[in-house]
Amino acid sequence: MSKETTLATTTLSEGTFDPADYSRELAEAPRNLDVGTRLWFENDRIRVWEVRLQPGERGPFHAHTRRYFWTVVDGGIGRQRSADGAVITREYHVGDTNYSEHSPAEPMIHDFENAGDSPIRFVTVELLD
């Protein structure tokens, strides 16, 4: 069962986009399990990722298939598109943290774009057991 806690971020806008604009990337997303821009550490229990995006940079659609949490290290404005065509723009603050539960049967597929004017950075930890 997919579970997500309430976010501590500030929602700036919500809307929709045309998933056809990202059809190739969305087709690959279920196999893209890179949930960050750089893998810092991995063992049999956890994977620790850095998510670091410069202004205007976008990470591709990918799948979350595990329980995980993220914490904002350098805040900013982020835009997230979901596979269903929803898009949300949020302001992320240093220390904001979110925990989500997903599985291979119920993955979360999304992208993430830095929509602000300064670098944005998160640490994401996947729980493997």
The CATH number covering residue 81 comes to 2.60.120.10
Q: What is the pTM of this model?
A: 0.91
Dihedral sign (CA 33, 95, 82, 89): negative
Residue 5 DSSP symbol: P
Pairing state between β 46-53 and 120-127 = antiparallel
Range of the domain at 30: 3-127
Per-residue pLDDT of the chain (129 residues; tens, 9 = 90+): 455 555 678 999 999 999 999 999 999 999 999 999 999 999 999 999 999 999 999 999 999 999 999 999 999 999 999 999 999 999 999 999 999 999 999 999 999 999 999 999 999 999 998
Q: How many domains does the chain have?
A: 1
Among the listed residues 59, 53, 71, 72, the one whose alpha carbon sits nearest the alpha carbon of residue 119: 53
d(CA 121, CA 58): 12
Place of tokens 């220390």: 95
